[in-house]
Amino acid sequence: MSESKDFLRVIVEEDLKKGKYKEIVTRFPPEPNGFPHIGHAKSICINFGIARDYNGHCNLRMDDTNPTTEDTKYVEALKDAVQWLGFKWDKDIYYTSDYFPKIYEYAIKLIKMGKAYVDSINEEQMREFRGTVTEPGKRSEFANRSIEENLDLFERMKKGEFKDGEHVLRAKIDMSAANMKMRDPLLYRIRHAHHFRTENEWCIYPMYDFAHCLSDYIEGISHSICTLEFENNRDIYDWVLDTLELEPPRPYQHEFARLGINYTVMSKRKLLELVQGNYVNGWDDPRMPTIAGYKRRGYTPESILNFCDQIGIAKANSMVDVSQLEFCIRDDLNKKVPRVMCVLDPLKVTIENYEGEEEIDAPYYPHDVPKEGSRVVPFSKVVYIERDDFNENPPKGFYRLTPEQPVRLRHGYIISCKEVIKDETGKITELIAQYYPNSKSGSDTSDIKVKSAIQWVSEKHAKKIEVRLYDRLYKNEAPEGLEDLNPNSLSIIKDALIEPAVISDKVDERFQFERQGYFYADPIDYTDENPVFNKIVGLKDSWAKKNIVERTHSSTVEVNYSVESAHHSISTKVKKEIVHGEAQALTQEQQNLFDKYTKEYRLNSEVSNILVRDEQLTSFYEETLKELNSPVSIANIVANEVAKELKQENELKFTSKQIAQLVKMVDEELISSKIAKQVFEEMTQTGENPEQIVEAKGLIQISDPAVILPIIDEVIAKNPDNVEKYRAGNQKLFGFFVGQVLKATEGKANPKVVNELVTKQLKA
């Protein structure tokens, strides 16, 4: 249990103290009309967790009052999910349908008390009579039926004498209640349908509002915990139990905020649509936010429990970042799983000066002391490396193999490239390489400097595997429907190559493929002949670079040093991290900082992650913060630009004080973010103060409309064709005009002011 108690546990403890209940009894009451999703996991953790923490028990109850949508296969999926998460329910599972006879008796009792009546108006009238939030409703004439008539009609409803919708049973409460739910809510409806358990025994079914509170009472539940959308139903819950004058103790309802995650839909109805329309391969498709999906993908129960613990329990709905869930699984696996080498897109490398074969002993857990174990990695003349790890025309900062730059084969030798062989289309088909006999990892006596180590497999020994790469199912942060599906959420690689020990040793089902991510042997499709691995999650949040660019754009202070630069710095960072195949768990200290950065400073998790993992960056960030209280802007520049510098240089030419000055100038709109980038570059070279640089170069941002306007007018005058096209509706040309003006001022014009003025002038 986390140290600080959530509000539900506070309530439970008070009730225990007051002696209100002898035992804490909760329940998890899903409707078996779909597979449970990660939102249900939250509810499971709360209900089972509270029962466990207070030595009570939790019932698993199928809320099966809607015969048309429910099915046994969903019951099985729910049982499986609860068990997989590590919880046990009390005795057998419960079904609301088991209480149908009792609930029926309670309905009769209400009728006899004059508190319920059979209504026979149609749906439209019912809606009309309900009134509105501002106007009271009115009661139907049938509310005046005598108790005898009601009893007779209700019994005949049960016997099947009427069609669906012909009559309903309603509570007689108050048609002018401020809470609209209390305006004579429905208790029973007629449904001539086959029920998966009671079959054709019943043709009337109790409504949620009637069945739920009574089921809770019948089972002796003490705390009936549900999501916020049932807040207004609480009055009915209380009314039913109080009106029936049931013997105490009775349960009380408490609401918490439901879980929402960005890039995810969380409604069984929408998930069912994906399954039925074959947009995914079933409820357990590894892209689905169902428990079965996470399980099949390779998530561990621990990672999901951890996630539920981290998000906490609150009374206000909020959206959780999906990267937080991804962080939890990464964090869990990082400590546990063996690290091996797999090549997804193989490029052949023939080592011309190597003959024979050798066996290299390589640890499975190179970074974790408590876990031990190693395997043999065979090495021979022909190996495969990742196609991306060679570059004939490397960009600046490319640390892997090039015609000029040697690289280390992880756990093995250093090689250099002698010759590049291509086919007629120009595609590289093979590299001829040389190895350095005295450079073997662990006993390297060569003087050869390399900037990274890459994964590889021996051609003769490697095993072919199928790899299924999964990406987010939705491309939008707040997906609505099918149109928001990410078309690239699944890609299948049929002929990836893996080192043989993975297939033969079977030390685990989950692996870190070094520099690639975490993978899981698919529990259904994997065979020794055709091994299939699912990508669980990457080593790093691959969506974060997108987010950083987006966030920098939208933060109050724009430190958006152009899209390329943000992108570039991230890829450098990723490179450094993966050279060592590291994505270690945060230490307690780092974790505390991480929490502070994300919660207090409101940094996004990726930026925080970068900052806390590197001591130098952390202290640089903290130092800078002391100079200027602008945590988000400073974090962005430190995690991007400063981090990049630190990785390339041993010593920084600039100080935290200078960075604070730079951010401050952007904050105060003295310089544009674009110019800030230029100034930063200069600082890295000369170490001069940003103010000095700005002054010497005359880079002060121009925000004065009197200066900018004539420039805009000139641009407009020079481009009559584009003006015409723009005014005829080609909105894309807006960027052209802004660009021209910025160019004319050498980037010194304040983009915000330019935007406003261009809009105005083009309208004229």
Q: What amino acid positions are annotated as catalytic residues? A: 31, 258, 268
Helical (H) or strand (E) element with 742 = helix 733-744
| CA nearest to 11, candidates 354, 408, 313 | 313
User: According to CB under 6 A, which residues from 219 to 248 bind ligand ATP?
Assistant: 226-227
Give CA angle at 716 (714, 719), nearest 5°.
Answer: 110
What is the largest distance, in Å, between two alpha-carbon atoms of the chain? 102
Residue 285 CB, nearest distance to ligand ATP (Å)? 17
What is the smallest separation between the CB atom of 49 and ligand ATP, expressed in angstroms? 13
Told to check if 66 binds ligand ATP by CB under 6 A, we report no
Cα–Cα distance between 311 and 597 in angstroms, integer? 16
Output the smallest distance, CB 165 to ligand ATP, in A. Answer: 23
Token pair recorded at residue 51: 């029962």
Please check whether residue 158 is in contact with residue 203, taking contact to mean a CB–CB distance below 8 angstroms: yes
By the rule CB under 6 A, 267 interacts with ligand ATP: yes
- Shortest CB 260 distance to ligand ATP, Å: 6
Residue 62 contacts residue 94 (beta carbons within 8 Å): yes
Pattern 133-162, ligand ATP, x by CB under 6 A: ------------------------------
The label of the residue with tokens 């409309």 reads 705
**Binding segment for ligand ATP among 26-34, 51-59, 527-535, 683-691 (CB under 6 A)?**
26-34
The answer to whether residues 692 and 686 touch, using CB atoms and an 8 Å cutoff, is: no
* Nearest distance, CB of residue 127 and ligand ATP, angstroms: 23
Considering only residues 336 to 365 of the shown chain, the ones binding ligand ATP according to CB under 6 A are: none
**Contact stretch for ligand ATP (CB under 6 A) within 14-22, 104-112, 266-274, 480-488:** 266-274
β-bridge partners, 360: 377
Name the region of 584 (left: φ>0; alpha: ψ -120 to 50; beta: rest).
beta
Q: Which two tokens stand for residue 429?
A: 């088909």
Kindly state the DSSP code that residue 3 receives in the 8-state scheme. S
Among residues 177, 193, 266, 448, which is the contact residue for ligand ATP, using CB under 6 A? Answer: 266
Residue 77 vs 469, nearer CB to ligand ATP? 77
By CB under 6 A, tell whether 272 contacts ligand ATP: no
Whether 85 contacts 301, CB under 8 Å: yes
**Closest separation in Å from C-beta 684 to ligand ATP:** 47
Nearer of residues 56 and 581 to ligand ATP, judged by Cβ? 56
> 613 to 652, contacts with ligand ATP by CB under 6 A?
none
For ligand ATP, give the closer residue by CB, 63 or 386. Answer: 63
Q: In this chain, which stretch among 108-116, 263-271, 693-701, 723-731 interacts with ligand ATP, using CB under 6 A?
A: 263-271
Query: What gap in Å lies between CA 586 and CA 598, rounded to an integer?
Result: 14
Q: For ligand ATP, which is the closer residue by CB, 318 or 562?
A: 318
Burial 327-338 (b: 16+ CB within 10 A, else e): bbbbbbbbebbb
Do the Cβ atoms of 213 and 185 come closer than 8 Å? Answer: no
Total number of residues binding ligand ATP (CB under 6 A)?
14
Given candidates 183, 212, 223, 268, which one binds ligand ATP under the rule CB under 6 A? Answer: 268
Question: In Å, how far are 128, 183, 523, 553 from 756, measured between CA atoms?
Answer: 50, 53, 57, 17
Interface with ligand ATP, residue 29, by CB under 6 A: yes
Q: Which of 32, 48, 38 is nearest to 89 (CA)?
A: 48
**Sequence-separated (6 or more) residues with CB below 8 Å from residue 611:** 593, 597, 603, 617, 618, 621, 635, 638, 639
The reply on whether position 13 binds ligand ATP by CB under 6 A is: no
The span from the CA of 710 to the CA of 712, in Å, is: 5
Residue-wise burial string across 383-397, b where 16 or more C-beta atoms lie within 10 A, e elsewhere: bbbbeebbeeeeeee
Helix (H, G, I), strand (E, B) or coil at 345: coil
Closest to 244 in 3D by CA, of 107, 404, 448, 61: 107
Minimum separation from the CB atom of position 66 to ligand ATP (A): 10
Task: Tell me if residue 347 falls in helix, strand or coil.
Answer: strand
The CB-of-47 to ligand ATP minimum distance in angstroms stands at 8
Q: Which residue lies nearer to ligand ATP by CB, 66 or 755?
A: 66
Q: Which is nearer to ligand ATP, 224 or 512 (CB)?
A: 224
Neighbours of 216 (CB within 10 A): 25
DSSP 8-state assignment for residue 501: H
| Number of residue whose CB is nearest ligand ATP | 39
Establish if 296 lies at the interface with ligand ATP (CB under 6 A). Answer: no
Q: Residues 30, 301, 346, 479: which binds ligand ATP (CB under 6 A)?
A: 30
> CB of 387 within 8 A of CB of 497?
no
575 residue type, one letter: K
Residue closer to ligand ATP by CB (options 181, 575) is: 181
**In the complex, minimum distance from the CB of residue 46 to ligand ATP, in angstroms, rounded to a whole number:** 8
- Alpha-carbon distance of 121 to 175, in angstroms, equals 15
Q: Which two tokens stand for residue 416?
A: 């250099």
Per CB under 6 A, does 31 bind ligand ATP? yes
Out of 25, 107, 259, 676, the only residue in the binding site for ligand ATP (CB under 6 A) is 259
**Closer by beta carbon to ligand ATP, 40 or else 339:** 40
SS3 655: coil
The residue range among 25-33, 299-307, 366-374, 637-645 that interacts with ligand ATP, by the rule CB under 6 A, is: 25-33
Torsion, Cα of 539, 541, 543, 545 (10° steps): -100
Distance (Å) of CA 329 to CA 250, 253, 538, 611:
40, 33, 10, 20
Choose the stretch contacting ligand ATP; rule: CB under 6 A; options: 134-142, 152-160, 194-202, 258-266: 258-266
Pick between residue 42 and residue 295 the one whose CB is nearest to ligand ATP: 42
Contact 452, 467 (CB under 8 A): no
For ligand ATP, give the closer residue by CB, 29 or 301: 29
Which lies closer to ligand ATP via its Cβ, residue 27 or residue 400? 27
**Smallest separation (angstroms) from ligand ATP to the CB of 308:** 9
Q: What is the residue type of 33?
A: N
Q: How many CB atoms are closer than 10 A to CB 667? A: 17
SS3 14: helix
Least separation in angstroms between residue 40's CB and ligand ATP is 5
Q: Which stretch binds ligand ATP (CB under 6 A): 259-267, 293-301, 554-562, 604-612?
A: 259-267
SS percent in the chain: helix, strand, coil, step 5: 45, 20, 40
Nearer Cβ to ligand ATP, position 270 or 464? Answer: 270
How far apart are CB 574 and ligand ATP at their closest, in Å?
32
Interacting stretch for ligand ATP, rule CB under 6 A, among 28-36, 121-129, 150-158, 540-548?
28-36
Q: Is 213 in the site for ligand ATP (CB under 6 A)?
A: no
Q: Which stretch binds ligand ATP (CB under 6 A): 260-268, 482-490, 579-587, 616-624?
A: 260-268
CB of 283 to ligand ATP, least distance (A): 13
Place of tokens 């990672």: 303
For residue 258, state whether it binds ligand ATP (rule: CB under 6 A): yes
Taking CB under 6 A as the rule, which mask of x and - marks residues 36-65 in contact with ligand ATP? ---xx-xx----------------------
The residue range among 23-31, 121-129, 210-218, 593-601 that interacts with ligand ATP, by the rule CB under 6 A, is 23-31
62 or 548: CB nearest ligand ATP: 62
Residues of this chain that interact with ligand ATP (CB under 6 A) are: 29-31, 39-40, 42-43, 226-227, 258-259, 266-268
